Amino acid sequence: MTSVTDPQDAHTPSPRHRLARALRRAGYEVLPFPSAHDKVLAHVPREVPLTITTTEAKGLEPTLDLAVRLRAAGYRVSPHLAARLVRDKEHLVDIVDRLRDGGVDGVFVIGGDAAEPVGDFPDALGLLEALGDIGHPFTTVGVGGYPEGHGAIPDAALAQALADKAPHATHVVTQLCFDAAATTRWARSTALPVHVGVPGGYRADRLLSRLAPDFEGPVAGIHVFTFNDLDATETWRQNLLARLT
């Protein structure tokens, strides 16, 4: 791991300590495969918050089912709600009621990868506004961000979309970006707390070392895309924590 030196001011947390604290609070993203429940229970401590993805091919059901089951097992979970897979406000109310009844207190709202929406919500903003209209119970509402831009969307449109979503959200999670300077520049221009996305099953030590001075500043936390390689991801996190503390 790249060396991170402590500052002279003893009252200011060093980059090393900031990174260690961020790693202790890091969240894991999980894919809703049939084996995911057992893998999480086998390898992920209960204090690690989880998000659960969704895809057009699988639909929302596997995501919602896994979220409720993992919440019952003692995890704090935030399922992805893909706007393009929600039919209408009645469908949304049913989803929210199901999650509330299951004790789920967070969601992550995306537009989704479906070519066409199945109903009334073509984008994440519309779903966020509808959640507000129905008086949702969620204490955390995440949205996505793109530090290096998006190949199909102009930068100005991306910035406006995030600004429009910000009043409805509690934090933003970045897509994978291996340029620490680009991530920090983007985070400084973003109103929401930024959780930087890093890959699981991969030694992201160098990237995190470069970001370490910005934790508890423009960068608020770490979001690990585990790709369900949970054993390797948790082993990496614990090993890095041991070297930092």
Residue 7 confidence (pLDDT): 44
Domain edges within the chain: 15-244
Scored b (16 or more CB within 10 A) or e, 56-93 reads: eeeebebbbbbbbbbbeeebbbbbbbbbbbbeebebbe
Residue 11 confidence (pLDDT): 67
For residue 195, the tally of other CB atoms under 10 A from its CB is: 24
Task: Report the share of the chain in percent with pLDDT over 90.
Answer: 87
Residue 3 confidence (pLDDT): 44
Average pLDDT score, the chain: 94
Band the pLDDT of 6: cuts 50, 70, 90. Answer: very low
Q: What is the chain's length?
A: 245
For residue 202, the tally of other CB atoms under 10 A from its CB is: 15
Residue 10 has pLDDT above 60, yes or no: no
Compute the average pLDDT of residues 218-225.
97
Band the pLDDT of 5: cuts 50, 70, 90. Answer: very low
CATH number of the domain at 15-244, out of 3.90.190.20, 3.20.20.220, 3.90.1150.10, 3.40.640.10?
A: 3.20.20.220
Compute the average pLDDT of residues 77-88.
98
Compute the average pLDDT of residues 160-173.
97
- Cβ neighbours of residue 37 closer than 8 Å, sequence gap 6 or more: 66, 69, 70, 73
Residue 8 has pLDDT above 60, yes or no: no
Residue 103 has pLDDT above 90, yes or no: yes
pLDDT per position as a tens digit, 127-144:
999 999 999 999 999 999
